[in-house]
Structure 1
């Protein structure tokens, strides 16, 4: 069963299962500050768990938990609270902390959608020179969950392509695929993620280089 209708929910459709509750209807805007939006997700999650006690819960959190420049944001604090809530009230769950997901459609505030719109409109943007960004194809999330969910019980798993792209690296490659120059400046801000991926995640991506993975994403979605 899938709760949600956004980019990630749509990627999961072909792997839907009567035994699993995929909760893909959380707050998707990492810049969100409205308390009611966070409370809506908590209420929906509680209701889903109450009505589907027989199913394994799969919840999607965020790798931004490891980003020191974002760790105090309302969005990240909300995700941490949700993780704690799940561990307290669910007897059978897996939490996937995912990177910046890229797929068809989705929230315009996601990283790649935001950058794509900025290039198309000529909007000037600031790129954090010292930042790292971890990306993941929404289809890879769905495929990994389908293939390896039975390996994880009541655990938190970090899932993204295990490489930190710089914003400049991303935007310059997007310029090539979109055949249009971006209007940007670089600023001395940002931080790298302090995290280490599980060997099963590293093995999943072992046959594709960072540059090839970036090209694959842009070829599919730009």
Structure 2
């Protein structure tokens, strides 16, 4: 069973839409800049209701921002951490922490959609000079998560991080995006940000077993897949 209609929900549709033993909760707050208590409470109430009505495994998508020095104190990160604690407090809860997920979506709040739209429009914007981000393909998230679920005991609860092997600085990400689009971006640098602290070794080992290369060149391949110009 799948709750949600967005990017993550669609990526799990072929694998879990008809399974009654697993509930993929891919709904709720997706904007990392959200500050509304009303929106946070709405997501919790929905998740709690699903937890009560479903006896199988519950899969919830957390955020790597909960361990990020730049963002872990934001209302969004605090909310996500509270949701994680709720999910794993019961048997059969799986939290999958994710970085910046990339795929085909109209959501303007994703990092890559924001950057793509600003570069294409020529609109000026600013980025944090010292910040790092980690990008992951939504298709890879679904494939790796399926293996993780298959390897868990029915009553087991855990938190797992899925991320690529190399985080990228925002200036380097801009350079890569410019190369993919063949167009210069109109941006300025703010002396803000810091390094990411992500440990995704378990998921990366599964990726290698699946033949998914999350290493060198992954970010550029990912951007070309979803934003590259047709030949």
| Same-fold status (TM-score > 0.5) | yes
Indicate the residue corresponding to 2:139 in structure 1: 139
Indicate the residue corresponding to 1:208 in structure 2: 213
Q: Distance between the aligned counterparts of 2:123 and 2:221, measured in 1?
A: 25
Q: Distance between the aligned counterparts of 1:207 and 1:47, measured in 2?
A: 35
Q: Distance between the aligned counterparts of 2:127 and 2:47, measured in 1?
A: 35
Q: Distance between the aligned counterparts of 1:209 and 1:47, measured in 2?
A: 36
Describe the shift of the 1:141–1:78 C-alpha distance in structure 2 as closer, same or farther (beyond 3 A): same
Shift of 1:108: 1.1
Q: Distance between the aligned counterparts of 2:193 and 2:177, measured in 1?
A: 20
- The DSSP-based 3-state class of the residue aligned with 2:217 is helix
Shift of 1:63: 0.5
Indicate the residue corresponding to 2:100 in structure 1: 100
- Which of 158, 167, 174 is matched with 1:171 structurally? 174
Q: Distance between the aligned counterparts of 2:178 and 2:200, measured in 1?
A: 29
Describe the shift of the 1:160–1:69 C-alpha distance in structure 2 as closer, same or farther (beyond 3 A): same
Q: Contact 2:140–2:212 (CA<8 Å) still a contact in 1?
A: no
Q: Distance between the aligned counterparts of 2:22 and 2:149, measured in 1?
A: 10
Aligned counterparts, 1:15-94, within 5 A: 15-16=15-16, 17-52=19-54, 54-88=55-89, 90-94=90-94
Q: State the aligned residue count.
A: 220
Q: Distance between the aligned counterparts of 2:88 and 2:206, measured in 1?
A: 27
Aligned-CA RMSD value: 1.7
Shift of 1:162: 2.1
Indicate the residue corresponding to 1:120 in structure 2: 120
Q: Contact 2:160–2:203 (CA<8 Å) still a contact in 1?
A: no
Shift of 1:176: 1.7
- The DSSP-based 3-state class of the residue aligned with 1:70 is coil
Describe the shift of the 1:174–1:150 C-alpha distance in structure 2 as closer, same or farther (beyond 3 A): same
Q: Deviations over 1:43-82 (max 9, x none)?
A: 1101111111x21001100001111111110000000111
Q: Deviations over 1:122-178 (max 9, x none)?
A: 222212121110110000000101122133430100111021111111111111222
Q: Distance between the aligned counterparts of 1:186 and 1:83, measured in 2?
A: 34
Indicate the residue corresponding to 2:199 in structure 1: 196
Q: Contact 1:28–1:107 (CA<8 Å) still a contact in 2?
A: no
Q: Distance between the aligned counterparts of 1:123 and 1:200, measured in 2?
A: 37
Q: Distance between the aligned counterparts of 1:209 and 1:84, measured in 2?
A: 28
